[in-house]
Amino acid sequence: MKNVLIDTHTHLDFDQFDADRDEVVYRAKEANVAGMITIGTDLQTSKKSIEIACRYHNVFAAAGIHPHDAGNASEADFAELYEMYSHPRVVAIGEVGLDYYRNLTKPDIQRRVFRRFMQWARELDKPLIIHTREAEEEILAILRDMSKKGWRGVFHCFPGDMAMAEKVMDMGFYISFTGSVTFKNSTAAEIAKNIPLERLLLETDCPFMTPVPHRGKRNEPAFVQYVAQKIAELRAIPVEQVAGYTTANALELFGITLVEEE
Ligand SMILES: [Zn+2]
């Protein structure tokens, strides 16, 4: 199981995959992507993610409310989400966080919703999948306020600098990179080159963030191989080593056991 890859952040529920979801999952497995996590952004997409995870071997789900959708969630939605965390295919709380770049939800609502998920992560001992954009200092402050250390989770599509990376790793978080490491003048590439392999995860964030050489097309989990290759190239190590570490990290963080498939 050493050299397989895991795509830790996909949105297989999106309608971009409605026409060919089976083929997308099949192509991923052909491309050595042995596991995938498909991630909800609100109540409906969290439900759909669980349905998809139940349909395929080695596809897992995360349930949460994206900061863009935080303003639309009702108490009934939260109650239903809470129940989802006892589902055997649900391996994480996410994606959740703060986004002051697009600012589709008022900051105070974003903060309140994010804190609630953080409390649940503690209570239920589930890892967090965190999305943050232009809110890095504040998210660090909220995390510190609740507890300086001992967090389990990942900062997905890592948006920060090396100083931020050091801080979140110190609190216990992993750092995950998308196809953005393959883009020109990428700060993500600089960080992916330098952080410890023990803290690194891979993802596509598909259907978004399509890596070179497929930019401009829909992204899909099979393309996580380009993220792995680019990081191997940046660090001047064999891609098998990147695969070995990132897969072990993902299995450990999300408590996943892959089943054998023929
Ligand atoms: Zn996402």
Q: Please calculate the CA angle 31-188-231 and round it to the nearest 5 degrees.
A: 40
Strands (E), the chain: 5-10, 33-39, 59-63, 90-99, 128-133, 153-155, 174-177, 200-202
- The sign one gets for the Cα dihedral 220, 10, 158, 233 is negative
Q: What integer pLDDT is reported at residue 1 of this predicted model? A: 47
Residue 12 has pLDDT above 80, yes or no: yes
Provide the whole-model pTM: 0.96
Strands (E), 101-148: 128-133
Residue 68 burial (10 A CB sphere; 0-12, 13-18, 19+): middle
Residue 24 has pLDDT above 90, yes or no: yes
The overall longest dimension of the chain from CA atoms, in Å, is 50
Question: What radius of gyration do the chain's Cα atoms show?
Answer: 17
- Residue 92 maps to a domain: yes
Arithmetic mean of pLDDT over the chain:
95
The candidate with the shortest Cα–Cα distance to 8, out of 234, 235, 176, is 176
Residue 261 has pLDDT above 90, yes or no: no
Domain that holds residue 56: 5-254
CB 228 within 8 A of CB 249: no
Q: What are phi and psi of 148, to 5 degrees?
A: -70, -35
For residue range 140-154, list pLDDT tens digits in order. 999 998 887 789 999
Q: What integer pLDDT is reported at residue 219 of this predicted model? A: 98
Residue 102 has pLDDT above 90, yes or no: no
CA 98 to ligand 1 centroid distance, Å: 13
- Residue 259 maps to a domain: no
**Considering only 86-95, 141-150, 190-199, 244-253, which range has the smallest mean pLDDT?**
141-150
CB 164 within 8 A of CB 185: no
Tell me the mean pLDDT in the region 226-233: 98
CA 179 to ligand 1 centroid distance, Å: 13
Report the percentage of the chain scoring pLDDT > 90. 90
CA 155 to ligand 1 centroid distance, Å: 11
Dist CA 150 CA 20 (whole Å): 40
CATH number at residue 218: 3.20.20.140
Tell me the mean pLDDT in the region 93-116: 93
Tell me the mean pLDDT in the region 45-74: 96
CA 202 to ligand 1 centroid distance, Å: 13
Domains in the chain: how many in total?
1
- Residue 172 maps to a domain: yes
For residue range 172-198, list pLDDT tens digits in order. 999 999 999 999 989 999 999 999 999
- Residue 260 maps to a domain: no
CA 235 to ligand 1 centroid distance, Å: 26
Q: How confident is the model at residue 204 (pLDDT cuts 50, 70, 90)?
A: very high
Q: What integer pLDDT is reported at residue 230 of this predicted model? A: 98
- The sign one gets for the Cα dihedral 16, 68, 189, 39 is negative
Q: What integer pLDDT is reported at residue 103 of this predicted model? A: 82
Cis peptide bond N-terminal to 196, omega within 30? no
CA 208 to ligand 1 centroid distance, Å: 8
CA 13 to ligand 1 centroid distance, Å: 11
CA 130 to ligand 1 centroid distance, Å: 9
* 135 Cβ contact list (under 8 Å, min separation 6): 97, 98, 99, 100, 101, 110
- Residue 262 maps to a domain: no
Q: What integer pLDDT is reported at residue 262 of this predicted model? A: 64
Tell me the mean pLDDT in the region 81-88: 98
- Residue 52 maps to a domain: yes
In the chain, the amino acid numbered 21 is R
Residue 259 has pLDDT above 70, yes or no: yes
Residue 160 has pLDDT above 50, yes or no: yes
